Amino acid sequence: MTTTLRPDGPEEPLPGGGRTRRYAVCVNGRPVGSLRAAAHAGPGGPLGEIAGLEVAEGRRRGRGTVAALAAEEVLRGWGCTRVDVAVPEECGGALRLAEALGYRERSRTMAKHLAGPPPPMPEGLTARPVAADAFPAWLAAQQEGYAASLAGSGLSEAQARHKAAADCRALLPDGPDTPGTVLRHLVPEDAPPGAEPLGGLWLRLGGLPGHPGGPAWVLDVEVAAHARGRGYGRALMLLAERCCAEAGVHDLELNVFAGNAAALGLYTSLGYRTTRRTLGKPLA
């Protein structure tokens, strides 16, 4: 029996010049599953994505493997130099398939349902909004750190910088006044105005762009280099939960890059569970 991909609808444009298309997974011409291939435009070549791969009939016969490899060929034809897949944590078979095809974990999504009263701030600490005059430097540091993490997860430097800048623009269209955005610096209670912060929190309460009303997201938690190892990362996460509770939000999510064992350990200790893994590989 021959497994192939067949277009299941027209090619559609993506923002910035990308493209996407749905395909039926067919065996001898008969549909048995589906997937979506996408190419997200950017410098250094478009970034590929395979999403929604499902084989509804005849599993464990290699059909998913053939479909994924065929989708990779589609993405190569579109000029993609890398490809990502997002695998729900409960889909162990899909995770094993991706790893067998050479995909390696880049990041994971973790989530927590918030119940009960908001946690108190640790004694001696307080949170202050990021001042307007400090916002440009804060944003530049955010983009630089995010780009470095993306490059460390496998993207080229050009791709990482492009994605970091595009994501920050999408998340902060109105700068620090973007609705649903919480930007806070953690400082000692007795710190004078303008004192160097111990760390910072970037929290979005209203769901991610394109998904209004979704869970809140911790977009960044950063402890200053001189203050690490003193529990301030935990304090910032408790601050995020407190901000959610005050806004009536009961679900909080975040992404953590592969290899960041300290962050993974912190989030796990606070009750966050992995819900999705993003894996990627180069398309040589």
Distance CA 162, CA 44 (A): 9
Per-residue confidence band for 207, with pLDDT thresholds at 50, 70 and 90: confident
Residue 172: name the closest of 194, 204, 147, 146 by CA.
204
The answer, yes or no, to whether residue 109 has pLDDT greater than 80, is yes
Distance CA 223, CA 225 (A): 6
Residue range 175-182: mean pLDDT, rounded: 93
Distance CA 72, CA 57 (A): 22
Residue range 242-258: mean pLDDT, rounded: 95
Residue 154: name the closest of 19, 266, 274, 44 by CA.
44
Q: For the chain, give the mean pLDDT.
A: 93
Distance CA 120, CA 214 (A): 25
Q: Could you read off the pLDDT of 113-137 as tens digits, one per residue?
A: 999 888 888 899 999 999 999 999 9
All domains of the chain, ordered by start, with CATH? 3-80 (no CATH), 113-278 (3.40.630.30)
The answer, yes or no, to whether residue 59 has pLDDT greater than 80, is no
Residue range 10-32: mean pLDDT, rounded: 94
